[in-house]
Structure 1
Amino acid sequence: MERQTEVPAGLADALVPVVTELIPLLRERIPRDPAAALGRLGAPEAKPGMFGVVAGRLRADPGELSMASRLSSLGVPVSERLLGALELTLDELPVAVPDEVEAAIPGPDATPSSFGFGMVGGPSAATDLAVRLLDQLRPGISDLVVTLVAELAENAAVAPLLTAAPELTGEEELAAAHGAAHLALAVAVALPVLRRVEAPLVAGTSAAVVGVALGAVAALLSEIPMPPAYAAALLEKRRAEYVLPVWASCAAEVREHRFTLAERSVVGEADFSGNGLAVAVAGGIAVRTGLDEGHMGVSLRILEGPPDELNVDWWDEVVELSWRAERGDAAFGEGDSHHSRTPPWPGDYRVRVHAIGRDGEERERYEILLWQAPPGPDIVHKRSDRLGYVVRGEPVPDIEPPPEAAHRWINESLLGEAATVTMVSGESLEDVLRGFGADPAEPESAEELSQEFDLDPWVSVVAVEGGVLAVEFNGYQGSYPRVLESVSQAGRTASLFWNINALTRLSFADNGNVLTSFELGHGGDVSDPEVHDAVADLEFDSYRDRLEKGLVAVERYSGCRLRQEDIQRIAEEDVAYRILPHLPELYPEARNPDGSRAFPGSGPLDAETDRLAFVPEETLRELAWRAASAAAEHAGVAEDPVVAAALAERRLSPEAEHLARRSQLREGREHAWLWQAIHNATNPDALAAAITSLAAARYASGPKGEELLAYARRLARE
């Protein structure tokens, strides 16, 4: 450890009798858990203790860290617990201060007569505050303790007291003994030094002693080696705690067109000519990549036994081989955590390597499955990329990319996570915008709208080859039937929605009619001849390129072409239009043949909602409008002409529908529940109208909401 402060001659030797007497006494007072956390500072590869791994921060550049910084790195819990354990002992412990300490520490005249101290953020432990005060009032004292602790740890009389007992073999026992002994040394050094220091609020206090000792021991333990028996103990602990199955996502380092999963560095070239993808090498396995240099995404799954199924649908190449681990713990790189390493024991394994994108036409990535099994021959489950043929020395066949390959850029574009793409065969941007419920005369900045995060919908439109492209970044209005009906008046329309939860919706509409709309991979009515032609030969049951296949269907049906440069053009033009959303679709309540609810047990009346299914239809209709009226009265708008007309006529006039639609936007949300209650009351199905109007009105009626629900319960029970 680098010495930061010059120690006066004879000072360390004078402290030897003091610390050798105090170490055994103090060590017994230090709790096991925080001692183990301290003891692991020299072993950052160990499993994190209850206070987390801080060695990385302490080791970054220990010579430049202040005492307060070292203490803060340990965190408040460890400081507070150790102060609580040692405070009474330190307060009552008589310690003789050697004359050499008296001579080395400047007297009270070094203390400023006035001072100020401020603290913003950070830990609030008493030890932290005491150390910060000490460093301000008596600079250099903490550094002196750090240097003395490091020097005394190497002293011939002190070092044996820091060695773990030979009978200790467990990882936690060794870490705790290592941490407790060195902390005891640091406290034994700090105690006589700080009792000599005179400074307001901190002189000789337990908080200052423990704080300075913790900072000193953190600096020391982050640099000195662990006890000799610790490596074996840690390995045994990891083996005992290792639980299968394990899944990890890693970034493997690629060099010279390969990455390795190995127990040690793999030297020399690997021969991939056998299967073109993966091979066992000394110490692990090597995988041939299309990428020359960089980092590669790899999914690692370590199983209890052979995988239940063979997945070749998603992948270009799938190869299985055997590998013998010499000791275990194979990793993709030196910095890999234990979660991305193979089991920490030797044995025979089968490894199944999956690869996609090695030819560079889509994002390259890999999956590796590993399980213990006797040695066996290599098995090639699938071979289909060009690189594999080249590496194996075989003639490269003519591989025609599927139509969806043209859209593989979509996942890396601005639309990657969530969007709706709507394509219309017409030529009028204005008609498409009006179909969405947007005003062509009110353009805004798309970038500014995207940063508002208020969930108000908006759309960008551009002319493309064959028609009009409408894009909603993280929006979904183009998947709604009402929008599709309106937009398709301008021309044949198809849309594809997707979001970050892997939900999708592929829709086709023409001349104001939605022909079909379905989730990719879950069937759908494709009886319309032109819809059938649009989805022909697109295997939505396969997860691979499912989104890209949906875009192919949208292009085919609409006659438009989607290009990456079109999305870039939308971003560069930075023009968007706010959407006035259509009102939600009103659906009938699903019923069983006997009239009961098909999906019972939920609703505004909880389980009693089911009883409403047997209430007369006219009574249900009255209940729905009573709920809407209660919401209007509580909102104080029952006398508003538009609202009053809607309640009296039991329908939405054009003016009322406009207000109801605006209530879905940020600026109109004050009466959102009211308009939802009124809109729901217009549902042609009386049972659905009553249930959904009650559900909305209970939030819009204030105190009257409970009265309304009580009235509905009485109706349900009669």
Structure 2
Amino acid sequence: MEEHTEVPAGLADALASVVADLIPTLRGRIPHGPAAALGRLGAPDAKPGVFGLQAGRPVARRGESAALSGLRSLGDPVSERLLGALELTLDALAVSIPHEVEVAVPGPDATPQAFGFGMIGGPSAETVTAVRLLDQLRPGVSALIVALVEELAGHEALVSLLEPPSELTGEEELAAAHGAAHLALAVAVAAPVLRRAGAPLLAGTSAAVVGVALGAVSALLSASPMPPAYAAALLAKRRAEYVLPVSASGSAEVRGHRFTLAERSVLGEADFSGNGLAVAIPGGVAVRTGQGEGQVPVSIRILEGAPDEVELDWWDEVVEFSWRAERGDATLSESASRHLRTPPWPGDFRVRVHAIGRDGEERERYELMLWQGPPGPDIVHKRGDRLGSIVRGEPVPDIVAPPEAAYRWIRGSLIGEAATVTVVGDASPAEVLRAFGADPAEPESAQELASAFDLDPWVTVLPVEGGVLAAEFNGFQGSLRPVLVSLSREGRTAGLFWNVNAVTRLSFADNGTVLASSELGHAEDITDPEVNRALAGLDFGSYRDRLEKGMLAVERYTGYRLRKEDLDRMVEEDVAYRILPHLPELYPEARDPDGSRAFPGHGPLGADTDRLAFVPEETLRELAWQAASAVTEHAGVAGDPVIAAVLTERRFGPEAELAARRSQLQDHREHAWLWQALHNATNPDPLAAAIGSLSAARYAAGPRGEDLLEHARRIARESPPPI
């Protein structure tokens, strides 16, 4: 941005009376929305305006004038709307040009005989183009206007015109009045100066006037204080818009074994000896951490009232105490989540602090719950870690970690968010790979498969004591029944699947039979004694260590404990195998007792799909295979012997199943819809077969697809529900 331009002596005084006359007219033509957005440029804590303007001085590009930088910082929508609002007024505006302006600003006769003007980038707003042209034809004129606007904003003859009316008390009204008055000032300055400057393609144009004015007012308001009444109005607005409950998660900066939730900088030490965890301090709340420095995860919940119950299950320590907010707006210390603030008003609060992992044996994290309530006594809801005992000066208890604690390392590992871990006893790696549907002769780089993002499933295996460990990083094939059946033919099998959405599946299988496979804690009527022994004493109803308990059950059933070193070896060896997925299981179409579809209103025929429920089964079967035939003919593969055999025998042989499974891989998806149509046609339930095959034919039968659907629709309409 160019250096500040000195305003010639007497020029501002000469313009003051002209500007004073123009401001009332111009201010009334400025729309409320963009005026409020401009007015908020000097209020960093205000929400962005309707055009998303942000506070802060505009940043100039190299060689760009201050006016152009300021204009560009506002964005095209703002300048275009304001140009549209002011253009007719400016064209008809009578403007006096003082003698001092004529002396200070070169006139039209100073136009160079030749000049160059280059456009950089894509199309620009009309105002941006006009200011660029002005800077080319009249170097320094826009800088003079910017300087004049800044000086005149403090001129004694204009100060009162720039102040919002005293009757305004709302945040938006004050911001709009502030923005409109200063933009009117800038336009009133730019109009006479640019009319004097004049130039081909430019003389007195509204686009140049509005563009330079916006650039000047952007720089001015970004550095100017808001009106005196604005702070109170903004606080009132924030209080009115603060709706409870509020919750968010982030992290807090730990320094000296503590973090704070505070309204201001907190100095001095805090005495945690009372409850060993947290305490109210002047200006906020301090929490004692096990970690000395760095970041810890923290979630905050601000409630309308006291919670119905105390959450103890997940946490080691839970304490509650009173805190009086001096003004509100407390934030986490040095947090990445500074957008989360406590209510923006003072008052008495109850604070409940939950902590886990302070002893360093698992991931350390915290939850703070706050609600307004009268002062009350400190309450220790739960004591359970060694650090708390040390801080309170109590004997340190001998805390025995539960057996599932041996798996807590998983949460911070490469499989922490999503994976399937399967252990197969008395098997070889090759046997396990083949049971998964992988080819032992085709190893690939696990790293490359993980970074390919082509959704092809893959597995890595490791021979371990007593069997084979299989791991799917962010995969789930090992949780599927057909895979479990195949694996358990090689040896006793157990596995656990989990993902980032907290979906889980714990499975046990042996001798080709799946003995149990369900969400953690939802297994019912298990009769196998070995599975029941593996699950004995594991409380999956507790939120704590559910994943770890699942892995303990796998260990109990198979006799092998997953170790971090196992994953390290897998990563170091970098060998994986692409899985040929099993075909999706075929289910019957759900029906109500009267024979109608249980989930009506959708399907390849729209609402008419429901009528298929009353079509004879033999007709439905024919519709399914007609759809499958149409797809194969459109694809030009009806003569393929494997496909021809499927159409003739109406079932999948080994070769067809292999081809259908391969079609689900990224590199073989050319005929994926074809194999879906054929696979669905084999569904034992005729209604499900017809609906599934017709659905696939919509996408894979080309022009014949519409004829096929219309044929099915006629059949459906000719078979109304029985009365």
TM class, shorter-chain normalised? over 0.9
Whether the aligned pair in 1 keeps the contact of 2:491 and 2:510 (CA below 8 Å) is yes
Q: 1:403 is matched by which residue type in structure 2?
A: P
Paired residue secondary structure (1:440): strand
Q: Which runs of 5+ in 2 are unaligned?
A: none
User: Is the alpha carbon distance of 1:100 and 1:293 closer, same or farther for their aligned partners in structure 2, counting shifts above 3 Å?
Assistant: farther
After the TM superposition, which residues 122-521 of structure 1 pair with which residues of structure 2 at under 5 Å, given as runs?
A: 124-333=124-333, 340-521=340-521
Q: Shift of residue 250 of structure 1?
A: 3.6
- Which string of whole-angstrom CA distances, capped at 9 and with x for unpartnered residues, describes residues 643-695 of structure 1? 11111111112221121112212233222222122222223334433333333
The root-mean-square deviation of aligned C-alpha atoms, in Å, is 2.9
Whole-Å Cα distance in 1 between the matches of residues 258 and 63 of structure 2?
Answer: 39
Whether the aligned pair in 2 keeps the contact of 1:111 and 1:198 (CA below 8 Å) is no
Whole-Å Cα distance in 2 between the matches of residues 390 and 335 of structure 1?
Answer: 28
Give the one of 691, 707, 711 matched to 2:710.
707
Q: Shift of residue 602 of structure 1?
A: 4.6
Whole-Å Cα distance in 1 between the matches of residues 445 and 65 of structure 2?
Answer: 47
Whether the aligned pair in 1 keeps the contact of 2:325 and 2:348 (CA below 8 Å) is yes
Whether the aligned pair in 2 keeps the contact of 1:624 and 1:681 (CA below 8 Å) is yes
| Paired residue total | 717
User: Is the alpha carbon distance of 1:662 and 1:708 closer, same or farther for their aligned partners in structure 2, counting shifts above 3 Å?
Assistant: farther
Whole-Å Cα distance in 1 between the matches of residues 63 and 232 of structure 2?
Answer: 30
User: Is the alpha carbon distance of 1:333 and 1:78 closer, same or farther for their aligned partners in structure 2, counting shifts above 3 Å?
Assistant: farther
Q: Shift of residue 110 of structure 1?
A: 6.1
Q: 2:673 is matched with which residue? A: 673
Q: Shift of residue 622 of structure 1?
A: 3.3
Paired residue secondary structure (1:569): helix
Q: Shift of residue 120 of structure 1?
A: 1.9
- Which string of whole-angstrom CA distances, capped at 9 and with x for unpartnered residues, describes residues 605-626 of structure 1? 4555455555554444334323
Matched, 1:105 2:105: yes
Whole-Å Cα distance in 2 between the matches of residues 662 and 172 of structure 1?
Answer: 62
Whole-Å Cα distance in 1 between the matches of residues 112 and 539 of structure 2?
Answer: 81
User: Is the alpha carbon distance of 1:23 and 1:666 closer, same or farther for their aligned partners in structure 2, counting shifts above 3 Å?
Assistant: same
Q: 1:500 is matched by which residue type in structure 2?
A: V
User: Is the alpha carbon distance of 1:88 and 1:391 closer, same or farther for their aligned partners in structure 2, counting shifts above 3 Å?
Assistant: same
Q: Shift of residue 474 of structure 1?
A: 2.2
Whole-Å Cα distance in 2 between the matches of residues 55 and 532 of structure 1?
Answer: 63
Whether the aligned pair in 1 keeps the contact of 2:408 and 2:545 (CA below 8 Å) is yes
User: Is the alpha carbon distance of 1:27 and 1:607 closer, same or farther for their aligned partners in structure 2, counting shifts above 3 Å?
Assistant: closer
Whole-Å Cα distance in 2 between the matches of residues 62 and 151 of structure 1?
Answer: 25
Q: Which runs of 5+ in 1 are unaligned?
A: none
Whole-Å Cα distance in 1 between the matches of residues 56 and 527 of structure 2?
Answer: 63
Whole-Å Cα distance in 1 between the matches of residues 255 and 342 of structure 2?
Answer: 21
Q: 1:117 is matched with which residue? A: 118
- Which string of whole-angstrom CA distances, capped at 9 and with x for unpartnered residues, describes residues 10-41 of structure 1? 33333222222222222222222211111111
Q: 1:77 is matched with which residue? A: 77
User: Is the alpha carbon distance of 1:397 and 1:112 closer, same or farther for their aligned partners in structure 2, counting shifts above 3 Å?
Assistant: farther
Whether the aligned pair in 2 keeps the contact of 1:631 and 1:700 (CA below 8 Å) is yes
Q: 1:423 is matched by which residue type in structure 2?
A: V
Whether the aligned pair in 2 keeps the contact of 1:423 and 1:493 (CA below 8 Å) is yes
Whole-Å Cα distance in 1 between the matches of residues 428 and 625 of structure 2?
Answer: 41
User: Is the alpha carbon distance of 1:419 and 1:135 closer, same or farther for their aligned partners in structure 2, counting shifts above 3 Å?
Assistant: farther
Whether the aligned pair in 1 keeps the contact of 2:320 and 2:353 (CA below 8 Å) is yes
Whole-Å Cα distance in 2 between the matches of residues 381 and 465 of structure 1?
Answer: 44
TM-score scaled by length of structure 1: 0.93
Q: 2:650 is matched by which residue type in structure 1?
A: R
Whether the aligned pair in 2 keeps the contact of 1:698 and 1:709 (CA below 8 Å) is no
Whether the aligned pair in 2 keeps the contact of 1:438 and 1:577 (CA below 8 Å) is yes
Q: 1:194 is matched by which residue type in structure 2?
A: L
Whole-Å Cα distance in 2 between the matches of residues 66 and 468 of structure 1?
Answer: 69
User: Is the alpha carbon distance of 1:461 and 1:663 closer, same or farther for their aligned partners in structure 2, counting shifts above 3 Å?
Assistant: same
Q: Shift of residue 473 of structure 1?
A: 2.3
Whole-Å Cα distance in 2 between the matches of residues 572 and 42 of structure 1?
Answer: 55
Whole-Å Cα distance in 1 between the matches of residues 594 and 567 of structure 2?
Answer: 53
- Which string of whole-angstrom CA distances, capped at 9 and with x for unpartnered residues, describes residues 38-82 of structure 1? 111111101332122411464899999843332222222221221
Paired residue secondary structure (1:652): coil
Whole-Å Cα distance in 2 between the matches of residues 17 and 29 of structure 1?
Answer: 20
Whole-Å Cα distance in 2 between the matches of residues 488 and 66 of structure 1?
Answer: 74
- Which string of whole-angstrom CA distances, capped at 9 and with x for unpartnered residues, describes residues 591-613 of structure 1? 56666655555544455545555
Q: Shift of residue 256 of structure 1?
A: 1.9
Whole-Å Cα distance in 2 between the matches of residues 443 and 140 of structure 1?
Answer: 69
Which deviates further from its counterpart, 219-228 or 686-695?
Answer: 686-695
User: Is the alpha carbon distance of 1:419 and 1:196 closer, same or farther for their aligned partners in structure 2, counting shifts above 3 Å?
Assistant: farther
Whole-Å Cα distance in 1 between the matches of residues 2 and 231 of structure 2?
Answer: 25
Q: 1:571 is matched with which residue? A: 571
Paired residue secondary structure (2:583): coil
Whole-Å Cα distance in 2 between the matches of residues 84 and 387 of structure 1?
Answer: 66
Paired residue secondary structure (2:315): coil
Q: Shift of residue 457 of structure 1?
A: 1.6
Q: Shift of residue 455 of structure 1?
A: 1.6
User: Is the alpha carbon distance of 1:68 and 1:489 closer, same or farther for their aligned partners in structure 2, counting shifts above 3 Å?
Assistant: farther
User: Is the alpha carbon distance of 1:153 and 1:237 closer, same or farther for their aligned partners in structure 2, counting shifts above 3 Å?
Assistant: same
Q: 1:17 is matched with which residue? A: 17
Q: 2:667 is matched by which residue type in structure 1?
A: E
User: Is the alpha carbon distance of 1:578 and 1:65 closer, same or farther for their aligned partners in structure 2, counting shifts above 3 Å?
Assistant: farther
Paired residue secondary structure (1:222): helix
Whether the aligned pair in 1 keeps the contact of 2:252 and 2:334 (CA below 8 Å) is no
Whole-Å Cα distance in 2 between the matches of residues 210 and 335 of structure 1?
Answer: 41
Which deviates further from its counterpart, 643-652 or 195-204?
Answer: 195-204
Whole-Å Cα distance in 2 between the matches of residues 27 and 552 of structure 1?
Answer: 73
Paired residue secondary structure (1:496): strand
Which deviates further from its counterpart, 105-114 or 18-27?
Answer: 105-114
Q: 2:663 is matched with which residue? A: 663
Q: 1:638 is matched by which residue type in structure 2?
A: A
Q: Shift of residue 3 of structure 1?
A: 6.7
User: Is the alpha carbon distance of 1:333 and 1:111 closer, same or farther for their aligned partners in structure 2, counting shifts above 3 Å?
Assistant: farther
Whole-Å Cα distance in 1 between the matches of residues 647 and 288 of structure 2?
Answer: 71
Whether the aligned pair in 1 keeps the contact of 2:65 and 2:142 (CA below 8 Å) is no
TM-score scaled by length of structure 2: 0.92
Percent sequence identity over aligned pairs: 73
Whole-Å Cα distance in 1 between the matches of residues 575 and 437 of structure 2?
Answer: 16
Q: 1:527 is matched with which residue? A: 527
Q: Shift of residue 398 of structure 1?
A: 1.2
Which deviates further from its counterpart, 37-46 or 323-332?
Answer: 323-332
Which deviates further from its counterpart, 607-616 or 386-395?
Answer: 607-616
Paired residue secondary structure (1:375): coil
- Which string of whole-angstrom CA distances, capped at 9 and with x for unpartnered residues, describes residues 459-500 of structure 1? 222334543222222222111111122222332222222222
Which deviates further from its counterpart, 619-628 or 350-359?
Answer: 619-628
Whole-Å Cα distance in 1 between the matches of residues 580 and 548 of structure 2?
Answer: 29
Q: Shift of residue 532 of structure 1?
A: 1.9
Q: Shift of residue 221 of structure 1?
A: 1.0
- Which string of whole-angstrom CA distances, capped at 9 and with x for unpartnered residues, describes residues 351-395 of structure 1? 111112222222222212211222211111111112111111111
Q: 1:277 is matched by which residue type in structure 2?
A: L
User: Is the alpha carbon distance of 1:556 and 1:208 closer, same or farther for their aligned partners in structure 2, counting shifts above 3 Å?
Assistant: farther
Whole-Å Cα distance in 2 between the matches of residues 421 and 334 of structure 1?
Answer: 38
Whether the aligned pair in 1 keeps the contact of 2:56 and 2:223 (CA below 8 Å) is no
Whole-Å Cα distance in 1 between the matches of residues 193 and 437 of structure 2?
Answer: 78
Paired residue secondary structure (1:363): coil
